[in-house]
Amino acid sequence: MTSGFAATLVNPSTQHKSCQHEQTQDSKQRPRLVMTLGDPSGIGPEVVLKALSDHRFEQRANITVIGDRAHLQRTYDQINDQIKSAAPHTILRDPATLNFIDIASPKAVTDGLTTGIGNASSGEVGFQTLKAAIAHTLSGKFDGIVTAPIAKSAWLAAGHHYPGQTELLAEMSGTQRFGMLFVAKSPYSQWTMRTLLATTHIPLKAVPTMLSPQVMTLKLELLIECLQRDFGLSHAKIAIAGLNPHSGEQGQLGQEEQDWLIPWIDEQQQRFPHIQLEGPIPPDTMWVQPGQAWHTHQPLPAQSQIAHDGYLALYHDQGLIPVKLLAFDLAVNTTIGLPFVRTSPDHGTAFNIAGQGIARSQSTEAALELAIELATQRLSQEQQTLKTNP
């Protein structure tokens, strides 16, 4: 589909002055984030409006939403009518009170939008929304992006052949080294689980051939850099999963560990003596300690004795099954290696419940919270660098 989209900045009207950001010195130091609506026919618009009903986020960051404003207003009206009777305590943010960039979708595209159905029209709107968000961020307008979920099938129907949003983010920013890190903070112990995937959206049968010392080195370097830069962990403990059951059982259940994974870990430990590497850990026991650290009610320092700061999983389901078992509504996907912060809720478009007012916004709230934390950390580092090297 062709574009024809035009972006327009829309500020809240004067009747909503309390929601506008005053340009004080304090507000200028706060991170500037842009939130996309994802696929407009999915739950993205709903969870964004629910998350932003908590005004405490905007006390810590300058937040702008980007998408098709007219469609968002229609979605708001539809869902607001639903929740008034079904869930009267649920609060939706009025779109009129948002700082908003309207991508002004062509009528030929918006006429094809149907709540709950992903198609070429919804794919085109979602794609153009993300492109605009990236362009604004690369221009320096924003410090980070929080992306609502899209449907890969809808992007494909619109003629956009990307495995997901991550690949478009990397392409437009000229990033060659990037990875998908899943972050979740336990509501019980406040311990943070960080899981990086060595491979992502590929068939399971392709994993052994895609894995190599070169791929693993790239991912490990990204993880170490992220733990140091974004989380202040300069002496991190990192667990690395095995590929085969029992990590190959000394070659009886697979050769990859013996052939290259164990020698590679030994080599990397010598390269990074300040980092504690452990592995290859049998996949069926690698997640026992994270589970204990997640569910315990012991004080946070105690968790550092039983769990690692980062986990390197070798393929998609090996890493994400435990993440979603422990933290389905709390996990956040952050793309590491980009020149800006990017976070996203760890769920899909949920077309089957779109427009009903029942979508949970906890993961979107967690994504926004993490984006604020990471962007604030980076801004602080930049300011410190300027002071050190004026």
What are the pLDDT digits (tens) for 232-259? 999 999 999 999 999 999 999 999 999 9
Residue 360 placed within a domain = no
Instruction: Tell me if 345 sits within 8 A of 367, measured CB to CB.
Output: yes
**Chain segment 198-235, per-residue pLDDT in tens:** 999 899 999 999 999 999 999 999 999 999 999 999 99
**Any known ligand binding at 297?**
no
Whether 330 and 205 map to the same domain: the answer is: yes
For the whole model, what pTM was predicted?
0.88
Structure confidence at residue 294 as a pLDDT band (50, 70, 90): very high
In total, how many domains does the chain have?
Answer: 2
**Any known ligand binding at 62?**
no
Instruction: Tell me if 365 sits within 8 A of 54, measured CB to CB.
Output: yes
Instruction: Tell me if 47 sits within 8 A of 92, measured CB to CB.
Output: no
Residue 315 placed within a domain = yes
**Any known ligand binding at 114?**
no
**Chain segment 268-277, per-residue pLDDT in tens:** 999 999 999 9
**Any known ligand binding at 360?**
no
**Any known ligand binding at 316?**
yes
Instruction: Tell me if 40 sits within 8 A of 126, measured CB to CB.
Output: yes
Residue 349 placed within a domain = no
pLDDT at 228: 94
Whether 27 and 82 map to the same domain: the answer is: yes
Whether 70 and 184 map to the same domain: the answer is: no
> φ and ψ at 207, to 5 degrees?
-60, -50
Residue 60 structure tokens: 């810590």
**Of 298, 315, 337, at which residue does a domain stop?**
337
Residue 259 structure tokens: 């052939």
* Residue 98: closest CA among 18, 37, 19: 19
**Any known ligand binding at 246?**
yes
Whether 7 and 59 map to the same domain: the answer is: yes
Say if residue 291's pLDDT is above 90: yes
**Of 301, 317, 337, at which residue does a domain stop?**
337
Say if residue 17's pLDDT is above 50: no
Whether 170 and 293 map to the same domain: the answer is: no
**Of 113, 141, 174, at which residue does a domain stop?**
174
Whether 242 and 256 map to the same domain: the answer is: yes
Whether 133 and 32 map to the same domain: the answer is: yes
Specify the CATH number for the domain of residue 43: 3.40.718.10
Whether 165 and 220 map to the same domain: the answer is: no
**Any known ligand binding at 166?**
yes
Residue 127: domain span: 1-174
Least confident of 18-27, 150-159, 319-328, 350-359: 18-27
